[in-house]
Amino acid sequence: MFGAHITSEVSMTKTTSGRIGRQALAAVAILLSASGPSWAQSTSPAGPPGASRRDGSRDFDFLIGDWKAHLKRLPERLVGSTAWVEYDGTSSTHKILGSNANMEDFKVDDTKDNLHIRAQTLRLYNPASHQWSVYGLDLDAGVLGLPATVGEFTNGRVELFDYEDWKGRWILVRFVWSHSGATAAHFEQSFSADGGKTWEVNWICDLSRETP
């Protein structure tokens, strides 16, 4: 569901997420440096060359398993809308072939509004860059959503970014994940049309379960 949790939504029934490669992200940061968005530094290497960095390969382990999901979605984006809609759904995440990569299946079936959302998210960890890449899978079109959103965890919280086209204009997309233990997690997706100066949240998902 979420771009991973979920990603950039492209229709009422599917969503896509993206990540850019490390060099591409650095190039975007340079292009936007005049605006000084805070995210530009968040995915840069920390410390001097050769400094050790933490192993974040298990940072998404808190998501493994089945969840109840409460979704808030802003259908009209970057137009000043405040007309949110809310739905309940499910999320299920499992590791792939015993690795630290994982796949998420997200579903919403709302009979009142006749809304059906099906989304899959693939998360991959790069041990060289110490960053996660999040991809949305479009099963209907048979394609992998690109670019991927990219980021890394700090103190149990992660911000991931990509740069993509939204209805004819290039915007920044940001995913934020946080969690409190193994029974509650929170995800937000935001768009920025001004180089990261301001952000509009358009997708909020709260996950809950009684046991991990």
Q: Which residues pair with 91 in a beta bridge?
A: 67, 106
The pTM of the full predicted model, rounded to 2 decimals, is: 0.77
Tens digit of each residue's pLDDT (9 = 90 or more) over 92-106 = 999 999 999 999 999
Kindly state the helix (H) or strand (E) to which residue 22 belongs, with its residue range. Answer: helix 22-31
Contact at 8 Å (CB) between 87 and 75?
no
Higher pLDDT, 138 or 32: 138
Cβ neighbours, 10 Å, residue 103: 15
Q: Predicted confidence band at 51 (pLDDT cuts at 50, 70, 90)?
A: low
- What is the three-class DSSP state of 13? coil
